[in-house]
């Protein structure tokens, strides 16, 4: 079972990633050492690395393996981060990353 491709809250839109998100994701968090300090992936050195990551993410969604959502601020339309549901057998894991500009905002 796949989740909806978009979820809206009062302040945020969670939506399926798109390939044209690569520049904003690169600028927002994947090259920031402070953001990635406790994460398992390596920093992205260029937007091409981010594009390749998005290709894998979109393919995983289509295959029903993982369900990442881009987090979008509803007021500014700025990409704030990503949140992902990873399915494995009868369990699910949830992970997220936020750009520093969105830390501490509840």
pTM above 0.85, yes or no: yes
Confirm whether 1 is domain-assigned: no
**Percent of the residues in the chain that have a pLDDT greater than 90, as a whole number:** 71
Q: Are 57 and 51 in contact (CB under 8 A)?
A: no
- Interval 28-35 mean pLDDT: 93
Q: Domain limits at 90? A: 6-102
Q: Judge whether residue 53 has pLDDT over 90.
A: yes
Q: Are 10 and 65 in contact (CB under 8 A)?
A: no
Confirm whether 52 is domain-assigned: yes
- Structurally, the chain folds into a number of domains equal to 1
Q: How far apart are CA 95 and CA 51, in angstroms?
A: 20
Confirm whether 73 is domain-assigned: yes
The band of 29, judged by pLDDT with boundaries at 50, 70 and 90, is very high
Backbone angles phi, psi at 70, to 5 degrees: -80, 135
Q: Judge whether residue 1 has pLDDT over 80.
A: no
- Interval 51-74 mean pLDDT: 92
Looking at residue 38, which CATH number applies to its domain?
Answer: 3.40.630.30
Q: How far apart are CA 83 and CA 67, in angstroms?
A: 8
Q: What is the mean pLDDT of the chain?
A: 92
Q: How far apart are CA 30 and CA 33, in angstroms?
A: 8
């Amino acid at each position: 079972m796949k989740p909806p491709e978009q979820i809206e809250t009062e302040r945020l839109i969670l939506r399926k990633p798109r390939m044209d998100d690569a520049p904003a994701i690169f600028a927002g968090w994947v090259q920031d050492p402070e953001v990635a300090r406790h994460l398992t992936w390596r920093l992205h050195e260029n937007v091409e690395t981010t594009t390749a990551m998005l290709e894998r993410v979109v393919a995983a969604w289509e295959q029903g393996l993982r369900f990442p959502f881009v987090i979008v601020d509803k007021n500014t339309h700025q990409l704030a981060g990503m949140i992902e549901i990873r399915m494995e057998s009868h369990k699910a894991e949830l992970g997220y990353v936020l750009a520093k500009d969105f830390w501490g905002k509840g």
